[in-house]
Amino acid sequence: MALKDNYLESLRRQVAEVEPHDVAALCAAGAVLIDIRDHDELADGSPLSAQAINRGFLELKIETVAPSADTRILLLCANGTRSLLAADALLRLGYRDVRSIIGGFGRWKQQGLPFATIPQLDNTERKRYVRQLLMPEVGMQGQLRLKQSRVLLIGVGGLGSPAALYLAAAGVGTLCIVDDDLVELSNLHRQIIHCEEMVARPKVDSAAQRLRSLNSSAQVSALRQRIDEHNVDAIVSDYDLVVDGSDNFSTRYLVNDACVKWSRPLVHASVFRFDGQVSVFLPRSGCLKSPCYRCLFPQPPGTDLAPSCADVGVLGVLPGIMGTIQALETIKILLDIGDPLVGRLLCVDGLSGEFQMLDVEPDPHCMCCNQSDVALQPQTRLPKVQ
């Protein structure tokens, strides 16, 4: 015991310490506050501005929040002991200004400082998402953000099937699927969320059952109805992001206009025989370079230029590819990582195996996203996990 006490005493002479009530001013000046407690401990709450990095991963993940050796780092544990040991490790790693918070989170609460109770993943969820949790771009905070996200999927056909499956598998907490169609045998070569037993059943019922069996923790709601001008606002406004897997231009325009109105990110894709397209639209969300769907297609092309797959066919695997890319783009937006396909149209030629990226500029004369009442429109509400 004396050895440990002597060691901690020597650390206190080497590591700067700070009172909890001084943390806010240091963070305002650019310091990074890191809560190094275990996940179970975080259930009791954590300072509002803290980033959670478990002590066991601190050295591995520290550069994701403190890329510069000159970053001032403030470490918080339960009572101020583990933070001393962690501070010593970061100083040895090369960081120049690392400080331990005296008394840890216990003292933080005693001083009446603000904190928030953070939703946690249970043991089953940690095992399920362990491969994503290992990725610094996701981690515990990202996984919690996915869990709190609400995604609307228009259509559970060839595009919506893989998108819904991968979003549920990734841990998106709430999924709403909208479709008014029934499962047909001819759907099954591409609409992989359905099965033979569900033929002649509503697609939303089939899809909801499959998603719940894939991930029982996902909240899945099913709306068996067609999107129209009477319901589109009420449906779109209740979700953080919209994945458009519809197969007709009238629905695409309705959904686009509602997403512009409510500042909801829209992840769009379409397929034609061996060709596919996918893009992301973020109009009125602070992204000045983002067009909307009407910027790309101001008017629907004639039926001779855009016949349906019922008329000309489609290779079943192609919507699987495009729907999977939609799921990827959705996750990137929800986690605020990477470079989403904003202002770009990804075109896939299945026969040649070529991927081509086309730039899409906002249309300054667009009848939808270039209106003068932008400031009056509701703003996006993507979830934030502190």
Residues counted in the chain: 386
What span, in angstroms and rounded, lies between the C-alpha atoms of 125 and 128? 5
Average pLDDT of every residue of the chain:
89
Is 42 a residue whose pLDDT tops 90?
Answer: no
pLDDT of 302 reads 63
Point out which residues pair with 342 in neighbouring strands.
Answer: 280
- Alpha carbons within 13 angstroms on the beta-carbon side of residue 124 total 5
Provide the CATH number for the domain formed by 2-118 in this structure. 3.40.250.10
Lowest-confidence pick of 86-90, 262-266, 339-343, 381-385: 381-385
Which residue in the block uniquely carries the two structure tokens 């990226």? Answer: 357
Q: Tell me what the mean pLDDT of segment 82-93 comes to.
A: 94
CATH 3.40.50.720 for domain 128-376, yes or no, is yes
Is 385 a residue whose pLDDT tops 70?
Answer: no
DSSP classification of residue 376: G
Q: Tell me what the mean pLDDT of segment 231-250 comes to.
A: 94
- The alpha carbon dihedral of 260, 261, 263, 269 has a sign of negative
SS3 call for 282 = coil
What is the percent of the chain with per-residue pLDDT over 90, rounded to a whole number?
72
pLDDT of 372 reads 39
Is 25 a residue whose pLDDT tops 90?
Answer: yes
- Please indicate whether residue 381 or residue 44 has the higher confidence score (pLDDT): 44
Q: Tell me what the mean pLDDT of segment 192-196 comes to.
A: 96
What span, in angstroms and rounded, lies between the C-alpha atoms of 144 and 138? 9
SS3 call for 28 = helix
In tens, the pLDDT along 50-87 reads 998 989 889 988 998 999 999 999 999 999 999 999 99
Using DSSP bridges, classify how beta strands 46-47 and 115-116 pair: parallel, antiparallel or unpaired. antiparallel
pLDDT of 303 reads 62
What span, in angstroms and rounded, lies between the C-alpha atoms of 146 and 241? 12
pLDDT of 304 reads 58
Is 230 a residue whose pLDDT tops 60?
Answer: yes
**pLDDT confidence band for 310 (50 / 70 / 90):** low
What span, in angstroms and rounded, lies between the C-alpha atoms of 236 and 227? 10
pLDDT of 307 reads 63
Lowest-confidence pick of 130-134, 177-181, 206-210, 307-311: 307-311
Q: Tell me what the mean pLDDT of segment 330-344 comes to.
A: 94
For the question of residue 309 being annotated catalytic, the response is yes
| CA 146-259-358 angle, 5° bins | 85
Instruction: Name the strand (E) or helix (H) holding 2.
Output: helix 2-14
What is the percent of the chain with per-residue pLDDT over 70, rounded to a whole number?
91
Boundaries of every domain in the chain: 2-118, 128-376
Query: Choosing from 77, 176, 295, 309, which is the catalytic residue?
Result: 309
Is 17 a residue whose pLDDT tops 90?
Answer: yes
Can you spell out the DSSP letters for 78-133?
SSSSHHHHHHHHHHHHT-SEEEEETTHHHHHHHTT--EEPPP---HHHHHHTHHHH
